[in-house]
Amino acid sequence: MLKVLQARFRQGFRTGKFPAVPPNLPEHFRGRPEITPDRCSDCRSRICLSACPANAVQMAENGVTIDLGRCLFCGKCAAACESGAIRFTGEYRLGAMKRDSLICRPGAMPEPEQAENPELRRLCGRSLKIRQVSVGGCAACELDFNVLNTLAWDMGRFGIQVAASPRHADCLLITGPVTENMLLALKKTYAAVPRPAFVIACGSCAVSGGIYAGSPVVHNGVEDILPVDLYVPGCPPHPAVLLEALLYLMGRKRGPIA
Amino acid sequence: MNNGFLILTNGVSAPVADVPVLPMAPFRQMVLDAVLNGGARVAAFFVLPPENGGESRLIAVLAAPQQHQILVASGVIENNCYPAFTTECPAFHWFEREIYEQTGILPQDHPWLKPIRFQPAADGTAPAPGVTDYFQLQGDAAHEVAVGPVHAGVIEPGHFRFQCLGETVHFLEIELGYQHRGLEQLLLNGPVPQTPHWIETAAGDSSIAAATVYQTLIRGLSPDLPPEPESAGIWRAIMLELERIANHTGDLGALAGDVAFLPTASYCGRIRGDYLNLTAMLCGNRFGRSMWTAGGAALPIPASAAAVLRSKMDELRGQLNNALALMFDTPSVLDRLENTGVVTTADAASLGLVGVAARASGLKMDARHDFPLPGIPVLETVPHEPVGDVFARAVIRRQEIAASDRRIMDLLGLIREDLPAAPSVWQVPVLQPDRIAAAVTEGWRGELWQVAVTDANGKFRRFKIVDPSFHNWAGLAMALRGEEISHFPICNKSFNLSYCGHDL
């Protein structure tokens, strides 16, 4: 018992101060990309399109767009870009309720999406019970969601908890591209959640199928199967990205600028 | 005893025409002899379809750890069937179920021929996941507990059936396949820009191990690639050990949590994240994603990062040792771990277990010792424990945390100069045509194998990933025999196997 108490003092208080202060992100963290219009529109090579492993970079009128719903944040488009038009910024506030908000277009980086949803705030503002369902996830999204439960992030202080049963959940947090073999289980789990049931697509696989899109045994993400209320880009989303997005879903204002 | 095999070393390729082609009977005899009497283990065992008509071949890739060699041979399959190897050697059990499921080629007299992934058959018909004949205990007092695919925690899906008499589990059957994404199919005709990312997400908690093996393999198949700076391999080896420490820390914390010893559970949960943050410090991603490409490192690492990493390691070491000592000094924790979920040395060897589970059951094996990577120091000592219980698996992990810590410190001492970013991180490597190569390293769960065969155009004709979990799920089922059902969580955590790495 004495040893336990000694250890308690030695280990100290470790919970981060987010969202009162910006999250502690690594120096090389790759957040929302920024596309410089002039440099991009003058480019002839379009080498970024073939460099992208996830089909996230697409041609547009005044340059290219990057779909964060597909993006792995690997940075290969920026490395390949000969005109220096693509740069990954430290913007971690990536969660969005509208799919279109995940499309990065050439130009100044927009403010993160702000959606007014008083119903969500009333229902979940102080308590969000999450049932996680992995449907082909590689375990990274699952692990970094689990991290929010550790004392480093302690999502419980915001009233966010993992529910063991879908019957006790407000929402499903779905990871993975939705394998054929999990389709029925996913539908049954969703049916078991009391209404209104919210759906979070966490990670590029769940949003769009990610790099598994097009495989004959996956369903290219959640979108065609369940109505999605929150998209969280990343491969996997950094815990700060996911927590900020969850708080946004609960009706809080967006997190501080990193 | 190795006569008759093509002998490869880690990541060195050979013309696929050099793989001996034998009639099935002598092939079977030779492979079984090498495994049962020659100290070799089955690393991969799969069907290579014919390129231009002809017969399919069964390819055996064996690990011969004493000689640090990889043995390859092939046997011709006639009439879509062959006599099963499993009847003589259970380590082939899962491979042969996989072969039957993927190709319809029948291993005759296989004792338990069922799907392992419920993937569509060659004719397009797809079995419903989890719908199969289960082994059942009969009798008035017997009962069956079925769990999953969706579990109560944040974890991947799988279906577990416990055949119980009272509290005692007499048999656990594990049905997987829910995470099947068709990875091996996707990898065919590669490499393409997605390939390294598919490899890294085969089992997302072992991305660095997978990237390391893939690097080794690609270098073997693509001798024209410009050489990497020496520090690339060293930084990769450092990141591999960071991955090991992070995962072992998380698992020991989870074990503590499962026996309701919350201090260690809390501290380890946090400290695991701090080790992941060290990986992110080096490459921007906590799982080391997208860092290693065919050309080298995607991001530069200055030599000065070595000093920063060293000081952060020094800081975390004390905290982690303190958290772990708490758990290992508490009798009520040890009481739950000791003599729980025993896998005997004989069972572990016969099932072909690898990695932490094998070492905890007294088998001395570690790919960093048996199949070292070029330019990386050999792991000198391989810890192993005789008992094979949950406690042994926990102790092995604790020892490996300390060993990985020392190894990182040693490797940091080898860092002399900055690691430049590869000039063309996004380019797809050009591979030699008609070659075969096998590569391996020790991921945190165990040895991770990749075997590639290229076609006449230098594209992957077959790409085989063998995750350590592929071998070890059978070990978990074995550990539960005769246990109380309430011991399942700690048995499961002590293995902590990958669903997606198995399901591919």
Contacts A–B by Cβ distance under 8 A: 197
The Cα–Cα gap between A102 and A88 comes to: 14
Structural domains counted in chain A:
2
Out of A21-25, B121-125, B257-261, pick the least confident. B121-125
Read off the pLDDT of residues B116-140 as tens digits, 9 standing for 90 and up. Answer: 999 988 777 888 898 888 889 998 8
Distance from CA of A82 to the nearest CA of B (A): 11
The Cα–Cα gap between B363 and B361 comes to: 6
Same domain, A141 and A229: yes
Residue A2 pLDDT > 50: yes
Span B63-80, mean pLDDT? Answer: 94
Q: Give the pLDDT band of residue B2 (cuts 50, 70, 90).
A: low
Q: Give the pLDDT band of residue B1 (cuts 50, 70, 90).
A: very low
Average pLDDT, chain B: 93
User: Which of A81, A104, A127 is the last residue before a domain boundary?
Assistant: A104
Q: Is B223 exposed, middle or buried (0-12, 13-18, 19+ CB in 10 A)?
A: exposed
Same domain, A183 and A81: no
Task: State what percent of residues in chain B have pLDDT above 70.
Answer: 100
The CATH number assigned to the domain holding A186 equals 3.40.50.12280
Out of B17-21, B50-54, B261-265, pick the least confident. B50-54
Read off the pLDDT of residues B103-115 as tens digits, 9 standing for 90 and up. Answer: 999 999 999 899 9
Residues of B in contact with A30 (CB under 8 A): 284-285
Q: How far is CA B122 from the centre of its chain?
A: 26
For this complex, say whether ipTM is above 0.85.
yes
Same domain, A38 and A128: no
A219 to A71, A211, B498: CA distances (angstroms) = 17, 12, 22
- The pLDDT assigned to B228 comes to 87
Residues of A in contact with B498 (CB under 8 A): 139
Residues of B in contact with A176 (CB under 8 A): 179
Task: State what percent of residues in chain B have pLDDT above 90.
Answer: 85
Same domain, A130 and A85: no
Residue B3 pLDDT > 80: no
Q: Is A53 exposed, middle or buried (0-12, 13-18, 19+ CB in 10 A)?
A: buried
Bridge partners, B7 (sequence order): B71
User: Is there a cis peptide before residue B386, judged by omega within 30 degrees of 0?
Assistant: no
Residues of B in contact with A49 (CB under 8 A): none
Read off the pLDDT of residues B398-423 as tens digits, 9 standing for 90 and up. Answer: 999 999 999 999 999 999 988 888 88
The Cα–Cα gap between B22 and B73 comes to: 8
Structural domain boundaries in chain B: 6-108, 183-503
Same domain, A137 and A198: yes
Asked whether the beta carbons of B351 and B388 are under 8 A apart, the reply is no
Residues of A in contact with B150 (CB under 8 A): 133, 166, 185, 189
Identify which of B157, B180, B196 has the shortest CB distance to residue A134: B157
- The pLDDT assigned to A120 comes to 84
Check CB contact of A144 with chain B, cutoff 8 Å.
Answer: yes
What 3 state SS string does chain A have?
CHHHHHHHHHHCCCCCCCCCCCCCCCCCCCCCEEECHHHHHCCCCCHHHHHCCCCCEEEECCEEEEECCCCCCCCHHHHHCCCCCEEECCCCCCCECCHHHHEECCECCCCCCCCCCHHHHHHHCCCEEEEEEECCCCCHHHHHHHHHHCCCCCHHHHCEEECCCHHHCCEEEEECCCEHHHHHHHHHHHHCCCCCCEEEEECHHHHHCHHHCCCCCECCCCCCCCCCCEEECCCCCCHHHHHHHHHHHCCCCCCCCC
Asked whether the beta carbons of B414 and B309 are under 8 A apart, the reply is no
Tokens of A57: 């970079």
Same domain, A86 and A138: no
Residues of B in contact with A239 (CB under 8 A): 273
Cβ–Cβ gap A11/B500 under 8 Å: no
The Cα–Cα gap between B101 and B255 comes to: 35
Same domain, A142 and A235: yes
Same domain, A185 and A83: no
To test the contact with chain A by mutation, choose from B123, B131, B181 the residue with the greatest count of A C-beta atoms within 10 A, namely B181
For A40, the domain range is 33-92+99-104
Residues of B in contact with A235 (CB under 8 A): 197, 201, 289
Average pLDDT, chain A: 93
Distance from CA of B443 to the nearest CA of A (A): 15
Tokens of B404: 């990985």
To test the contact with chain A by mutation, choose from B150, B200, B206, B277 the residue with the greatest count of A C-beta atoms within 10 A, namely B150
The CATH T-level fold of domain B6-108 is Beta Polymerase; domain 2 (3.30.460)
Q: Which class would CATH give B183-503?
A: mainly alpha
Read off the pLDDT of residues B163-178 as tens digits, 9 standing for 90 and up. Answer: 999 889 999 999 999 9
Cβ–Cβ gap B284/A30 under 8 Å: yes
A203 within a domain of the structure (yes/no): yes
Nearest residue on chain A to B198, judged by CA atoms?
A211
Question: Hey, CA dihedral for B416, B419, B420, B422, is it positive or negative?
Answer: positive
- The pLDDT assigned to A198 comes to 94
- The pLDDT assigned to A61 comes to 81
Read off the pLDDT of residues B186-199 as tens digits, 9 standing for 90 and up. Answer: 999 989 999 999 99
A1 within a domain of the structure (yes/no): no
Same domain, A78 and A136: no
Nearest residue on chain B to A211, judged by CA atoms?
B194
At a CB cut-off of 8 Å and minimum separation 6, what does A5 contact?
A: none
Asked whether the beta carbons of B440 and B371 are under 8 A apart, the reply is yes
pTM of the model: 0.95
Same domain, A71 and A138: no
